Amino acid sequence: MIIDLPGTTTNDVNKRLVKLRDEGGAVALGRVLTLVIDVGDRDVEEAVAAANEASHEHPCRVIVIAPRPTATGSTLNAEIRLGGDAGASEVVVLRPSGDLPAHGDTLVIPLLLPDAPIVVWWPYESPENPAESLLGKMAQRRITDASQCAHPFETLRRLSTVYSAGDTDLAWTRVTLWRGLLAAALDQPPYEPVQRVVVAGESTHPSVDMIAAWLAQELRCPVEIRREPDAPAITQVRLERRSGDIVLYRPDGKTAALRQPDQPEHRIALPIRQLQECLAEELRRLDPDEVYGEVLTKGLARLDA
């Protein structure tokens, strides 16, 4: 169910939500957080669909800010999505125009769930300093996505200079399974130091840089990145050791092969992670991701050095 509220205010939107709950019980209770999504001038549907899927694991109130840059006058149009249009959440889409988009914090404050954590997600372009932005100052967690920015690598480097506890980026979340497999392989004998690392992957994908930075930070060895145009994200990580290389290879974006000295090759399902999976993972934790902070601020610098 989608309810349109043209020419409204956020106080009126909140009153309507309360009325809907009282009249029909349509709004789910037991929500664990408020998820604020700032889509800028982009379409809201992909972000809302991902939030709806993630909400089955994390029931929440979703507030989407989608400014209307071409509209005249300072007005607010809104819509409330419930039931099948909102997953296990309630979705409020705010479409401000004129001067209103510059006051995003004022727009969302009346709609925040009381005594619930706040997470802000920028699915496309991110602010210069997420933690110091109007929305970011309200949040315990701030999620960006460098892969959707016009300049992914420059975005990662910028984020590394303004990192604050509570920040994270989905380019990091996308390599969680790779990190787990590589750590498990290194946790087996022989316990030799890694002398050199080679990471190969799509030439413009920031997750390639993030896993390379993680390996550079953790292993303290030279790391080479081989960029492959049109590759399906990360395609290979090779850890070179004296007794033989550990190679995790995924040429098709679906199934990986793990090759280790004196062991049979292991085939592992390792599909490219979908947006809703990554978002759900980040909503599981509301404490700072200290490993991400270290990789972003120190590991990337090792790569650049």
Whether 9 and 136 map to the same domain: the answer is yes
pLDDT for 24: 62
Would you state the pLDDT for residue 304? 87
223/116 same-domain check: no
Residue 265 shares a structural domain with residue 121: no
Residue that terminates a domain, selected from 119, 136, 169 = 169
Decide if 278 is inside a domain. no
The answer to whether residue 262 sits within a structural domain is yes
Domain check: are 44 and 149 in the same one?
Answer: yes
SS3 label, residue 150: coil
User: Does residue 299 form part of some domain?
Assistant: no
Per-residue model confidence as pLDDT tens for the chain (305 residues):
899 999 999 999 999 988 887 776 544 456 889 999 999 999 999 999 999 999 999 899 999 999 988 777 889 999 999 877 667 678 999 999 999 988 889 999 999 999 999 999 999 999 999 999 999 999 999 999 999 999 999 999 999 999 999 999 999 999 999 999 999 999 999 999 999 999 999 999 999 999 999 999 999 999 999 999 999 999 999 999 999 999 999 999 999 999 999 999 999 999 999 999 999 999 999 999 999 999 999 999 999 88
Q: What is the spatial distance between Cα 80 and Cα 62, in angstroms, rounded to a whole number?
A: 10
Q: What is the pLDDT of residue 21?
A: 77
What is the predicted pLDDT for the residue at 305?
82
* Contact in structure between 162 and 215 (CB atoms under 8 Å): no
Please check whether residues 61 and 156 belong to one and the same domain. Answer: yes
Give alpha helix (H) positions in the chain: 10-24, 45-55, 104-108, 152-161, 170-173, 176-186, 206-219, 275-283, 290-294, 300-304
R_g of the chain, CA atoms, integer Å: 22
| Two tokens, residue 250 | 């995924």
Could you say which of 109, 139, 169 is where a domain stops? 169
3-state secondary structure 80-139: EECHHHCCCCEEEEEEECCCHHHHHHHHHHHHCCCCCCEEEECCCCCCCCHHHCCCHHHC
**Residue 214 and residue 180 in contact, taking contact as beta carbons nearer than 8 Å:** no
The per-residue pLDDT for 208 is 98
Q: Is the peptide bond before 190 cis (omega within 30 degrees of 0)?
A: yes
Question: What's the pLDDT score for residue 30?
Answer: 67
Q: Is residue 100 part of a domain?
A: yes
Q: Flag whether 288 is in a domain.
A: no
By the 10 Å C-beta count (0-12 exposed, 13-18 middle, 19+ buried), 299 is classed as: buried
Domain boundary among 108, 139, 169: 169
Q: What gap in Å lies between CA 198 and CA 219, rounded to an integer?
A: 12
Q: Is 145 within 8 Å of 123 (Cβ atoms)? A: yes
In which domain, by residue range, is 138 found? Answer: 2-169
For the chain, how many structural domains are there in total?
A: 2
Q: Do the beta carbons of residue 139 and residue 123 sit within 8 Å?
A: no
